[in-house]
Amino acid sequence: MFEMIPPMGFGRRLFVWWSCAWREMLVGVPIWLIVLILSLILMPHLEGTAHLTLLSVITAILVSVPIAWILCVPLVGYMVHKGFKAQALNAPSKLGFGQALMVGLTTAGWTALCSIPATVVMRLFQHFGYQRAGNAVVLVIEVLWALYIVLPRQARRLRLLAGVQE
């Protein structure tokens, strides 16, 4: 379930992960910024005020996060596909919207699960007054989670979409 085919060491997994991650950031960051800026511009007009208030900023954030997330999920799927293709790993030659959505949801779902152990560890370190050590441990947890849990799930999803038997 969490194996990479072909088997890979830490360095190769990191390289494949980075091949996907920079593409995701290249597409995702502008979308998040555009959606947030548009929300901040439109909120005062929708509220009938001429300037930003704390309420309009909070509302803009609450409106923009789900919109940006919905826009980014299929794009993340496409970028993961491109990253796997760039590394000559099993992936379909073309990816439809529904397939990209499923790869994006696989990525988002398994990545979101990482927040549970990361939050527990962070709270534990905060409780004892070791914020920086907690940040470092959470970073290690997130990297290992991405390389050994999320990446194999993405690879499996793309192998299945490519019609490769396990």
Residue 40 and residue 108 in contact, taking contact as beta carbons nearer than 8 Å: no
Distance of alpha carbon 146 from alpha carbon 6, whole angstroms: 17
pLDDT score of 1 more than 70: no
Please give the average per-residue pLDDT across 7-36, as a whole number. Answer: 93
Q: What's the confidence (pLDDT) of residue 104?
A: 96
pTM here? 0.84
Q: Which of 54-63, 124-133, 152-161 shows the lowest per-residue confidence on average (mean pLDDT)?
A: 54-63
Distance of alpha carbon 104 from alpha carbon 163, whole angstroms: 18
